[in-house]
Amino acid sequence: MTKVHNFSAGPGVLPAEVLQKAADACINFDNLNLSLLEISHRSKNFINVMEEARALTKELLGLNDNYKVLFLGGGASLQFAMVPYNLLRTEGTAGYVNTGVWASKAIKEAKMIGNTMVVASSEDKKFNYIPKGYEIPSTLDYLHITSNNTIYGTQIKHFPKTSVPLVCDMSSDIFSRKVNGNDFELIYAGAQKNMGPAGTTMVAVNEQALGKTGRKMLSMLDYQVQIKGESMYNTPPVFPIYVSMLTLKWLKDNGGVEWIEKINNEKAATLYAEIDRNTMFTGTTAIEDRSNMNVTFIMPKAELEPEFDKLTKEANLSGLRGHRDVGGYRASLYNALTLDSVKALVEVMQAFEKKFA
């Protein structure tokens, strides 16, 4: 089968061995002669999967015993509502940093739940940088940030130092670099960018923060109910959770977050160096805020884009077109994307320059 270099922003690339094991499990899971898609989520075999997925998450994020890990449906978009629903007191205020489309959507949902303020924003420059040096009111119930922005290609390099509880949407850079999970009250991440297929969302929450809002809670949206049900209050998304577990195990077995962070740094440095050198391309974000996961760039001579697209297709480079709201190009360098794939893209960029500069 022809090697395709998958730069898709999400659902994103997964390790080949994970895909193979997942495919095998769809036919015969755990030597049961049953498909993973057919067995009961209450069976011991799947409960083992859920327990391992939770344990691996806690280990890789360095979480202490106060944290509970959930795997839920609804995507990160549901967490935009669940976070304020569970953490924002009826008479309290939540703070948000607006760094892009997904942060904006989180703000919209929070405003429907309760008092919400935007403490900083980079909307003034079309989200091409990360705000810094902003004041964080000490009275906030929590401060919500988005660690990485897939559409605009920015990433928080240094998390805010504050006494206010931090909540972070890490959907697109979870497990890509070393973080101390205990610095956050809650972390959530859709699986489909760096962890598994679409269909489940990981939530890691400090259990001591729950039950303080003063509102009556709908069961499905209540973290405490989901914790008590061990992510099985209703039937969980079995297949995405299983593949996420396999991916986390792959990460641990190869050296963990420290191992992949070095590779991710090299991948990003290789591609950004070419963007800065190559006369045909220009980066779109502030250099100090460039994302290691989603590299965005444009072509000043936009009329030549069809020619570049032709070369990328011939080289089996897939998923490079920028988000429809931004245009240009976006190379997503998620954990499972190899350095060889980045080098293949660089070679095409160099060939393009040689031909058209």
Catalytic one among 68, 102, 141, 173? Answer: 102
Of 193, 222, 267, 289, which one is the catalytic site residue?
193
pTM across the whole model: 0.96
- Among 141, 169, 173, 289, which one carries the catalytic annotation? 169
CA distance 234 to 56: 22
For 256-356, the fitting CATH number among 1.10.390.10, 3.90.79.10, 3.30.70.260, 3.90.1150.10 is 3.90.1150.10
pLDDT band at 1 (very low <50, low <70, confident <90, very high): low
Is 80 exceeded by the pLDDT of residue 79? yes
Q: 102 catalytic, yes or no?
A: yes
pLDDT digits (tens, 9 = 90+) for 254-300: 999 999 999 999 999 999 999 999 999 999 999 999 999 999 999 99
Q: What is the mean pLDDT of residues 311-327?
A: 93
CATH class of 16-253: alpha beta
Show me where the domains of the chain are located. 16-253, 256-356
